[in-house]
Amino acid sequence: MMGLYTLGIRMYGWAIGLASIRSPKARAWLQGRKKEEERWKEWRSAHPGSLLILHAASLGEYEQCKSLVAYWRTQHPEWKILISFFSPSGMQQYRSGEADGCVYLPLDTHRKTAAFVDIMQPGLFVFVRYDFWLQLIRQLNKRAVAVAVVSGFFREEMWWFRPWASSALKVLSSIDLFLTHDERSCEVLRQHNVEHCICTGDGRVDRVAQLAEAPAQLPWLEQFKGGRKLVVMGSPWIPDEDLLLPIIGDLPDICFLIAPHEVGASHVDRLMQRLEAHDPLRFSQLKKDADLGTRRVFVLDTIGVLASCYALADLAFVGGGFTTGIHSIQEPAAHGCPVFFGPRHQRFPEARMLIEMGGAWEVRSTSELRRQMNALLSDKTSRGKASAACKAFINAHRGAGERSGQELSKLIRRSRQGPAGRHIP
> Is residue 348 in some structural domain?
yes
- 12 domain residue, yes or no: no
Residue 242 and residue 384 in one domain: yes
Q: Would residue 172 count as lying in a domain?
A: yes
Q: Walk along the chain (425 residues) and give the pLDDT tens digit of each residue.
A: 667 787 888 887 888 878 878 888 788 877 778 888 999 999 999 999 999 999 988 877 888 888 999 999 999 999 999 999 888 777 777 766 789 998 999 999 999 999 999 999 999 999 998 889 999 999 999 999 999 999 998 999 888 899 888 899 999 999 999 999 889 999 999 999 999 999 999 888 998 998 899 889 999 999 999 999 999 999 999 999 999 999 999 999 999 999 998 888 889 999 999 999 999 999 998 887 778 988 999 999 998 899 999 999 999 999 999 998 999 999 999 999 999 999 999 888 899 999 999 999 999 999 999 999 999 999 999 999 999 999 999 999 999 999 999 999 999 988 776 544 444 44
Residues 245 and 312 placed together within one structural domain of the fold: yes
pLDDT digits 0-9 by tens, 93-107: 776 678 999 899 999
Smallest CA-to-CA distance from 59 within 328, 266, 268 is with: 328
Q: Which residues contact 78 (CB under 8 A, 6 or more apart)?
A: 49, 50
Same-domain pairing of 352 and 404: no
**Is residue 8 situated within a structural domain?**
no
114 and 187 co-located in one domain: yes
Alpha-carbon distance of 359 to 28, in angstroms, equals: 39
Residue 312 domain-assigned (yes or no) = yes
Residue 406 and residue 367 share a domain: no
Indicate which CATH number applies to the domain containing 136.
Answer: 3.40.50.11720
Other C-beta atoms lying within 10 Å of the C-beta of residue 363: 20
Q: Which amino acid is at 60?
A: G
Give CA–CA dist 424/135, Å, rounded: 11
Distance set, CA 58 to CA 61, 85, 239 (Å): 6, 6, 24
What's the rounded Cα separation, in Å, for the pair 372 and 418? Answer: 57
Nearest by Cα to 87 from 66, 46, 59, 67: 59
pTM for this entry: 0.82
Residue 19 lies in a domain: no
Q: Are 320 and 346 in contact (CB under 8 A)?
A: no
Q: Provide the 10 A C-beta neighbour count for residue 266.
A: 7
244 lies in the same domain as 193 = no
Q: Which of 110, 92, 111, 120 is nearest to 31 (CA)?
A: 92
Are 197 and 73 in a shared domain?
Answer: yes
**Cβ neighbour number for residue 157 with a 10 Å cutoff:** 9
State whether residue 125 is helix, strand or coil: strand
Residue 368 in domain: yes
Do 291 and 404 sit in the same domain of this protein? no
CATH number reported for the structural domain that contains residue 263 in this entry:
3.40.50.2000
194 and 59 assigned to the same domain: yes
User: How many residues are present in the chain?
Assistant: 425
User: What is the per-residue burial (b if ≥16 Cβ within 10 Å, else e) of 281-316?
Assistant: bbbeeeeeeeebeeebbbbbbeeeebbbbbbbbbbb
Share of the chain above pLDDT 70, in %: 96
Task: Please state the domain count of the chain.
Answer: 2
Whole-number CA gyration radius for the chain:
23
User: Are residues 197 and 87 both part of a single domain?
Assistant: yes
User: Of 49, 62, 46, 129, which Cα lies nearest the Cα of 99?
Assistant: 62
> Do residue 45 and residue 131 come from a single domain?
yes
Give a yes or no: residue 424 inside a domain. Answer: no
- Mark whether 60 and 76 lie in a shared domain: yes
Which residue segment(s) compose the domain that 72 sits in? 31-201+399-416
